[in-house]
Amino acid sequence: MVENDDVHKLKKVKSLLENIPANEEMNKYELQNQLKSYNIADIRNFEKSLKPEEKVQYVQSIIRQIVNLSIPEETSSSSSSSKPKPKPKVGRGKKAKVGSLKKDKLLSNARLERIYDYWQLPHNVSLPLVNPLNNGKSTPFQFYSTHNSDKSILKAPRLSITKLLIDNWCQLRDYYTIFSGNIKVSNAYMEKGSRHHAKLEVESHPESQIDFKNIDEFLIENVEQLKLKLIGSEGVEGVEEGTEITEELQSLINIDDGDLLAMDWCEKIVYRLFSLLTKGEAREILVHGYIRFKEKNFVEPMGTEVNAEQFEDSILVSGVVDLLQFSNPRNRSDLKMLIETRDMIKFEFNRNDDDDNDDSRSSIVDISSFLKEMKIILKDYNKKELALTICDVKSKTWNALPSYDSVLQGAKLQTFYYRYLFELLSQDEKFTYQCLLRNAELRGLDIDKPLSSLVVLKMLIAHYDLFYKDFEKLSNGENIGFEPYDEYITQEKSKENSSIKPYPFYLIFQMAEDFSFDDKKHESFFVNLEQYTLMINNNFDINQYLKPLLKVWKTPPTLRYFAARSSQFYRIFNDFVSDETRVEYHNSETDKIFKTFKYKYSSDELKSQIKQASSFWNGDLIPKPVDDYGKCKNCDFASKCTISLSQGLDKGENEHDYGLNMGKKMIGPMLCNFLSENGNDEKSSNRCT
């Protein structure tokens, strides 16, 4: 007798559900016992009284019972005719055959393998809806920060803004991704998107793609020759390998994580915000903040005092704003502020040419004076005349918007996060200064460690017009004009055992054959260096901008210095952050914008999302399943996800064929409401009825 198709499907689901571990707690949820003793109203009241952990058991029990009640009893002949099943082969990355739903089904990808290993699950069971270990004590963030393929997260636990967009696709998929060790995946579309963003960045900021390879190789080789001379047959008397001088030479060219972060702050905060003021727009600007999961909010400035206690129990959240643009909302072509800024730079900083070229970077700017003058210029403007708009760029390989509303909504909320954090950083420069210092410290970095001379040279060559005056002040031990920084440096230098040591910037800028402690000769070194610098920046005059700095600096360049200058630049924009945000959709093949969405910033909407994200990452929220089962077809967890298995997927050419097209019959509105976060998702609830 041919088995009824629906019964056949139900049997398959039953075989899967049998592998969900049952326990004594589930027995009290027997459907038949409930229906005999209670009416529907009683059952509803009972469901409302369940605790979160009880609801999970309740849901799994109901699914199991519905399947069992729907399948007729099998005869002994049918069971006896079954053949022994071969032992399954488990292999990494292998795909199961189409239609295969054996209970010992192969794990089809690395993410599945990892989550099954971490959760200590047999390979033939479906994934539970929540972490089955530690009674829920291991929160998603705790696991994410201790089991992660990104080693930098293990070293410095933090989140990106995109990680807070928990409703962008599917909370349950994000939850499984976290507990699979957050294995990174990449595809051709993502790589194309990265290339498109890099192209836009270079168009706006050509200096960002300077290739220092030749200079790196030249300086590293020269330092090796210097070390050999100091310890070799022609060396200086009393200098041996491993002594302070040879170690100091090596430290001046070594580039560590602190140097890399300093380069980011130099390039993607200070220089980019300077470009925003002089050119009207800037790309790829860093923002960050500190979220508190328990309070479900971000750390904000509190009065005039800033202290470390404000940041306790908070998690670093960072992001990169794709585009910041200044404009006059009343007249987009009005460039009055930019003209005033360029004129001020010409007048204040002795520009020697009389042409109308808008390249303000040809003048040597004193940052303290520049910021002071900018405040005077901006005093005459308000948001109606000058607004700073936050914009996010999404790239597509064809002119098609995302198919799902949740993705469009996620893009909007992403701009809200950017706007909120940028405005937060612009409110109080002392608060922002502490935010940046904490950022570095959370990464395990020494904020007062002198930067590599090689890194300082790169900054000088790329942005001599912006940093030369400041580097000159540091070398002379002068104040830079930012009170918290200047006070710290003065107090620290006054201590008997000060941590601020002289910075021998000059040491690596002599050729080995000319090296001398007493009579420093740089001419032959300059001849060799100049051939490389001219290829990078032909406006950089070595004699004018490098030679005066070749001495022992009284104040070393550090992360603390860049935190000070970054906080001052953020502060300039406080009164001009627009309530309008934008999302641009670009065609990465044609490099054209095919759709732009404009949004009105809503702090209430963002606060609600922050609460949801905090609950998710702190383990207070049971992950909500997908809102559209079409998303399941490309999910790494679909073959083992109870939701996708029970709901079913129509078979298609490129889809996982693990689903059973019976979900609407199996799951009623009450159960579906629970799976959609207790009925809050009206759209999902309606779809299940």
Rounded average pLDDT over 380-392:
93
Residue 664 has pLDDT above 60, yes or no: no
Q: Sorting pLDDT into bands at 50, 70 and 90, what band is 70?
A: very low
For residue 237, give the DSSP letter: T
Per residue in 323-362, pLDDT tens? 999 999 888 888 899 999 999 999 998 755 444 444 545 6
Q: d(Cα 67, Cα 12) in Å, to the nearest integer? A: 10
Higher pLDDT, 518 or 368: 368
For residue 615, the one-letter residue type is: S
What own/partner pairs with CB < 8 Å and gap ≥ 24 does 596-602 have? 597/408, 597/411, 597/412, 599/412, 599/415, 599/416, 601/416, 601/419, 602/416
Which of 66, 38, 13 is CA-nearest to residue 58?
66
**In the chain, domain spans:** 1-75+95-114+121-132+632-689, 203-579
Range in 212-226, 399-413, 424-438, 604-618 the model is least confident about:
212-226
Which of 74-83, 159-168, 286-295, 316-325 bottoms out in mean pLDDT, i.e. has the lowest?
74-83
Q: How far is CA 448 from CA 134, 374, 437, 616, in A?
A: 41, 29, 10, 36
DSSP state of 506: G
Q: What is the pLDDT of residues 540-566, one digit of tens each?
A: 889 899 999 999 999 999 999 999 999
Share of the chain above pLDDT 90, in %: 47
Per the model's pLDDT, the better-predicted residue between 26 and 364 turns out to be 364
Q: What is the mean pLDDT of residues 124-152?
A: 86
Q: What is the pLDDT of residue 39?
A: 54
Q: What is the DSSP letter of 128?
A: P
CB-CB contact of 437 with 446 (8 Å): no
- Is residue 299 over pLDDT 90? yes
pLDDT at 106: 61
Task: Tell me phi and psi for residue 164, to 5 degrees.
Answer: -85, -10
Q: Supply the DSSP string of 240-295, one letter for each residue.
A: -TTSHHHHHHHHTT---HHHHHHHHHIIIIIIHHHHHHHHSEEEEEEEEEEEETTT
Task: Report pTM.
Answer: 0.78
Q: How far apart are the first and last CA of the chain?
A: 33
